[in-house]
A and B are shown apart, each in its own frame.
Chain A
Amino acid sequence: MLREWKTEWMKLKRRKAGLLVLAFLGFTFLWIGWVVSDADALDLADGYRWMFSNLSMINTILLPTMLAMLASRLCDMEIKGNTLKLLCTLEKKGTLFDVKLLTGGSFLILYVAAELLLLLAGGRLLGFGRPMEARHAAYFLLQNISVSLVIYLLQVMLSFRFENQIIPLAAGLFGSFIGLFSWFFPDTSLFRWIFVWGHYSLLHFTGYTWDEATRVMTFYDVEPSRAALGMVLALLVFGYLICRQLFVRKEV
C-alpha cells in the first residue's frame, strides 16, 4: 500500500493539487478577514465561537467545490491518460481506490487542521476574549472532516465515472448551493437530512441569538446531533464499501 501511495504522489507532480488547496485556504481567510474587519470588542470577546460559526458556513459553501476540483485533479489524469488498464495489472484495483481516498483525505485533513491553526493564530493576534475550547476544536474537525469525506467519496466516483469532468464539477457547485441553503432550515427539516451537503449544518455546534434592540449577537453551545453524526459515519462506512466494490467490479 505504501508503494502505491508513493506513486500517487509521484503522479501529482505538476498537478497543482496543493496549490488548489492553498488557494481555497487563502480565499477562506480573506473572507474571514473581511468578517473580522468590522468586529467590535463584544464580538472579539467570544471570538472563537463567533469564528467557528462563520467558518462552518464558509466551509459548507467552499469545501464541496474544492473537493470536486481535488477529486477531479486526482482522478481525471487516469481517465485522460488511459492508465487504469496499466495500473490494474500492477496493483489491486481496491488499493488504487484506497490510495485515491487516502491522498484526497490527507489534503482535506491538512486543510481543516490548517484552518484550525490559522484560527488559533488569528485569535491570539486579535486578542479573542476566551480561549479556544478543546471540544469546539474537536467538533469542528469532526464536522468538517466526516462530511467532507463522504462528499469526496461521491466526487471520486463521479470523476471516475465521467470522462467529461464538467459533470463532477457541476455536482460540486450544486453541493455548495445546497449546503448554503441548508443553513436556513431548522434541524428537523428534511432538506438538511436528505442532501449530504446539508450535513455540515446538521453537525453545527454553536448557535446564536440576535438582539435587535442592542444589535448584539450572543453565541451559545449546541450539542451536535448524535443521530446526524451516526448517519454521517454510517454513510461514510457504507458509502466507502459500496463505492469501492463498484470501482473494483467495473471492467477497464
Chain B
Amino acid sequence: MKYIVETKDLSKSYRGKQVVRDVDLKVPKGCVYGFMGPNGAGKSTTLKMLLGLVKAGSGEAAIAGKTMNQRNRLEILRKTGSLIESPSYYGHLTGRENLEIVRTLKQAPEKEVDQVLKLVRMERQQDKKAREYSLGMKQRLGLAAALIGRPELLILDEPTNGLDPSGIQEIRELICELPKRLGMTVLVSSHLLSEMDQMADYVGIINHGQLIFQDRLEALHEHSRSRLLLKVMNRTAALKLLEMRQIEGRVAEEGILIPELSDDRAAALVQALAEGGAGLYRVEERQKSLEDIFLSLTGRRASL
C-alpha cells in the first residue's frame, strides 16, 4: 500500500513528560484518515510535528515518500495544506485578501482564490472583513486557505471544534468530497468517534501519546460493536451454558458480558439459560462508548 504520511518512532517530550511516544502513523493515499484520541492525547502535537511546527524529540516523518528535515520541509509542505487548532486569519483583511496572501506565498495561480471560495461556499462573504465572520465562516476560510495550491495532503486538526450542528455537517461534507473530487488525502483529527464514523476510511487512535489502534474503519467497528449483558442469579451455571454453546462470556461487576448475537441465537440462549437453572432475570444491550473502546484498546495494545 502507498502511504502519503509515514512516521517512524515519532516522539516528543515536554519538560521530561513524554507527550508523544513512538508513533508509527501510516496514512494511505487518497483516503480520509481519522486521527482520534481524547483531549490531551497528543493529536495536535503529532500533527504539528508532521508540519515541522514542533521539533520532534526523536523519530522521523515522511510525507509523499520524502523524509522531512529542516532543509526540505517547505518544499514538502508546498504540497500540503493545513488547519491546526483554531483558524488562522487577519481580522482586518477581507476573506479574499486573506486568501491572496496565502496564494502569493504558495505561488499558486490567481484563479485559485475564486476556486477555493466556491469550494467552501464563501463567494458571497469574500469581501467581508474576517473578524466579522462567525466561527464557522472562519473555519471555512481556514479550510479555503489550506486548499490553495491544490495540495495532495490536507492536515486538519479538529476542524469542527466549536461549530454549530449545521456548520459541522457542512465541514464534514466538504471533507468527504475532497478525496473523490480533488484526489486529496485528508488527515483529520477529532475526539469524536461519531464524527469519524461519518467521514473516515481509516482511523488511528492515540491515547497518552501512544498510537493504540490503526486500521480501516471497519476494523474499529469490530471493537465498538455492542455487547449483551446477562444478569443472572447463578453465574457459574450461566458460564457453563455459555461455554457449551461456544459463546465467550466475560464476568463484569453487573453481570456477564457476551458478544452481540443474531436474534435467533439470542432467543435460543435466553431459553437455555432460563431452562438450565442460571436464573436469568434481565438481558441488556450495551453499546460501547468511545471511552470503553479506548479502555479496551489500551488493554489490548500489545496485540494491536
Contact = CB atoms under 8 A, between A and B. Distances in A.
A72 to B, nearest CB: 14
Contacts of B106: 90
Contact of A3 (B52, B77, B80, B104): B104
Interface in B195-248: none
B97 A251 contact: no
B54 interface: yes
A86 B54 contact: no
A115 B289 CA distance: 70
B50 to A, nearest CB: 10
B187 interface: no
A158 B82 CA distance: 28
Interface stretch (A7-15, A26-34, A126-134, A212-220): A7-15
Given A15-B92, A89-B51, A251-B54, 19 more contacts: A3-B104, A4-B105, A10-B101, A14-B92, A81-B88, A81-B89, A81-B91, A82-B86, A85-B48, A85-B88, A86-B142, A86-B145, A87-B88, A89-B74, A89-B77, A90-B77, A92-B74, A251-B53, A252-B53
B286 interface: no
Interface in B72-109: 74, 77, 80, 82, 84-93, 97, 100-102, 104-107
Contacts of B87: 82
Contacts of B77: 89-90
B271 to A, nearest CB: 61
Which of A6, A82, A89, A92 gathers the greatest number of chain B CB atoms within 10 Å? A89
Contacts of B86: 82
Contacts of A3: 104-105, 107
A89 B52 contact: yes
A135 interface: no
B74 A81 contact: no
B55 interface: yes
Contacts of A86: 82, 84, 88, 102, 142, 145
A10 B88 contact: no
A91 B105 contact: yes
A120 interface: no
5 contacts: A3-B105, A83-B89, A86-B82, A89-B52, A252-B53
Given A3-B105, A4-B105, A85-B84, A10 B100 contact: yes
Contacts of A85: 48, 53, 82, 84-85, 88
Contacts of A13: 92-93, 97
Chain B, interface size category, equals 20 to 34
A226 interface: no
Nearest to B83: A86
B131 to A, nearest CB: 9
A150 B219 CA distance: 59
A145 interface: no
Interface centre among A4, A77, A80, A88 (most CB of B within 10 A): A88
Interface in B26-60: 48, 51-55
Task: Rank and list the top 8 A-B pairs by shortest CB-CB distance, nearest first.
Answer: A86-B88, A90-B105, A83-B88, A14-B92, A85-B84, A82-B88, A89-B77, A251-B54
Interface core residue of A14, A82, A85, A88 (most chain B CB under 10 Å)? A85
Contacts of A77: 90-92
Contacts of B105: 3-4, 7, 87, 90-91
B70 to A, nearest CB: 9
A201 B90 CA distance: 39
A12 to B, nearest CB: 9
Nearest to A14: B92
A251 B55 CA distance: 8
Contacts of B100: 10
Contacts of B53: 85, 88-89, 251-252
A101 B178 CA distance: 39
A161 to B, nearest CB: 18
A169 B54 CA distance: 29
Contacts of B89: 81-83
Contacts of B88: 81-87
Contacts of B130: 81
Contacts of A87: 88, 105
A81 B55 CA distance: 23
A92 B230 CA distance: 61
Given A77-B90, A252-B53, A10 B84 contact: no
Nearest to A86: B88
Nearest to A10: B101
Given A3-B107, A7-B104, A10-B100, A83 B55 contact: no
A152 B54 CA distance: 27
A18 to B, nearest CB: 14
Interface string A164-178: 000000000000000
Contacts of B48: 85, 251-252
